[in-house]
Every structure is written in structure tokens, then in C-alpha cells.
Structure 1
Amino acid sequence: MESKKPDNVVYSAEEGFNANVLPYATSVGAPVIRVDDVVSWKSRGIDNVNKELGNKFNELRLQYQILMQEYEWNELVYSAKFSFEPVIGEIYHLYRDAEGVNFLSLIGPNEWNKEHIGTFKLNSDKKWICLNGNEAYLF
């Protein structure tokens, strides 16, 4: 009969006693090898990354909405009728006449009774900055 080896001794017929090269504990006195629970670590990481990416997405969406609103205001002013060259830094007022045509004027909204769309200032980049406008005209 074959000689039996005790259960707590690592022995194989091909390699002999090879406890020092095995990736796991081979004796009762060896420290316990525990697999770390990385599932909770991963889920916390995923939650943090998703929250950060969501915040960045919301910031970009807000910036996009502001950019589109600036574009629409500039489109509205540049497509309006005016027969003068606007001066950078001056304040102008956009109106709609009885025929529904938009026009730009230096006259303020409290100086006459016209349908006032918004008040604008031309900056050095030739971009119209809306100082106060009626959002209903954009949409």
C-alpha cells in the first residue's frame, strides 16, 4: 500500500514538497489569505465618477444654453434694420414696428411707445450683449 501523507503537508508526486512556491497558504499556522471585497470600493468609485461627470455635463449644458441664447440675440440684432454704424460701447434698443420688422434705435423704451424687444450694448468683439431682453422673442 502507498504511504499516505498527512492532509496538512503539501506534497505532489511530480514536484515533491513545494509549499514555498504555491500562491496560497499550505499549513494550519499560515496566515489566512482573504480576498478583499472590492465590490463596495468599485461601486463607491463609480458613484463618485458618475456624480462628477454629471456635474460637468450640467455645467456644459448650462454653458451651451447661454451660448445659444447669446447667438440668438446676436442673430436677432444683426438681422434687424438700422441705417447707422453702431459704436462700440454704446447702448442701443431693439424694437418691433407695426409691420413686424425689427429695428435698432438709440431712443430708449420710456421715451416713446414702441414694442421694445431688448436693450443691447456692442462690445469690442462686435458681439451684442443683452442688457435686458424679452425671452419670448427668442423662442
Structure 2
Amino acid sequence: MSQDTDKQKIDVSKIDLDKEREKTTDQPGLIAFPHTVGGAVIRPEDQGKVKGRAVSAMRQQTDRQMQQLYEQAQTLAKQAQAIKERVDVSERIYSAEMNFEPIISQTYFLYQKKNGVDVLSLVSPQEWGRKHPFKAYVAKVTLLADHTWDVTLADED
């Protein structure tokens, strides 16, 4: 029994009080480890995981924004192409043969003759029947108030 009591005795002279003082604090909420034996376990955050999740979230958000910008750019490109086609057809209309003065808000039809000359007509492709005298139907057009043309190309009609 004397051996058991020797093991339980603490030699106070061997205790480094300065080192033990480093393990205590007046403000326990500021230390990164529990300050008592029964204290809650405090695990430091794995900074690599935190940064990895943040970078992943940032990339996801910027990818979404880049996709939106790409879609907007595609929409603008389609609109620009539609305007270009409208200008091309409008120029063809003003250089086409027409035996009448176009009236604002009226619909007309642009055809191409077999010799390549464009003709603006009041007659729609359906009204010609099977025998229409033109090589190709180009577009259905309506004269707008500003003397530009609202164009519906033949393949859209």
C-alpha cells in the first residue's frame, strides 16, 4: 500500500508554475481550447476546407454570371443579325420595281424575277396559285410610318 501512496503524491517542487499559468486565462472565451476538463470541445476550423468551399461558391456564382452575360450577348447578336437582314431587304425594296406608291401600314410582297430583278407586289404568294411568274418569294413587308419596313422573311412566313 505504501507503493500506491507514493504514486499519488505530487512533488510540488517539480511543478513549473509559469508553464501552468500559460494554460489558464482570465478570458476563457478567447482561447482556442477548453479551459476546464468538463469544457466543450473546441475544434479549430480547417482553413483549407473553408477556403475551398468559398472558392467553389465564388466560381459557381461567377460561372452563373458569365452564362447570363453569354446569353445576353447571344440575344444582342441575334438582334443585330435581324436588323442587318431588315436593312438588306429594305435596300432591295427601294431598288425594286414597283408600279405603285406604297402606303404606310400596308403589307406588300417582295419577289425576285428569273432575271434577278426584285419586284414589290400587292399580291401574296397564295393568291398567285400554282403559277406565279417569279423565281422566288423573298419577304412579306409592311411599310412603317418612318418609311422603314417591317420584314418577315419568306422562310419565317
Structure 2 alignment gaps of length 5 or more: 1-15, 36-41
Query: Is contact 2:113–2:133 with CA below 8 Å preserved after alignment?
Result: no
Conservation of the 8 A alpha-carbon contact between 1:117 and 1:133: yes
Equivalent AA in structure 2 for residue 88 of structure 1: I
Give the superposition deviation at 1:87: 0.6
> In the TM superposition, what whole-angstrom CA distance separates every residue of 1:31-66 from its partner, at most 9, and x where no partner exists?
655343311221221222122212212222222222
On the 8 A contact 2:112/2:134 being kept in 1, the answer is yes
Q: Does structure 1 residue 120 correspond to structure 2 residue 133?
A: no
Tell me whether 1:9 sits opposite 2:25 in the alignment. Answer: no
Alpha-carbon contact 2:98-2:121 (below 8 Å) kept: yes
Alignment of 1:133 onto 2:147? no
Q: Could you tell me whether the CA contact under 8 Å between 1:121 and 1:130 is conserved in 2? A: yes
Structure 1, unmatched stretches of 5+, are: 11-18
Q: Is the 8 A contact 1:9 1:26 kept in 2?
A: no
1:70 aligns with 2:86: yes
Residues of 2 paired with 1:8 and 1:92: CA distance?
97
Query: Greater helix share, 1 or 2?
Result: 2
Larger gyration radius, structure 1 or structure 2: 2
Paired residue total = 122
The AA in structure 1 aligned to 2:140 is T
Closer/same/farther in 2, CA of residues 127 and 8 from structure 1, 3 Å limit: farther
CA distance in 1, matches of 2:21, 2:80: 68
Picking from 31, 50, 63, the partner of 1:47 is 63
Identity, % of aligned pairs? 23
TM-score normalized with structure 1 length: 0.64
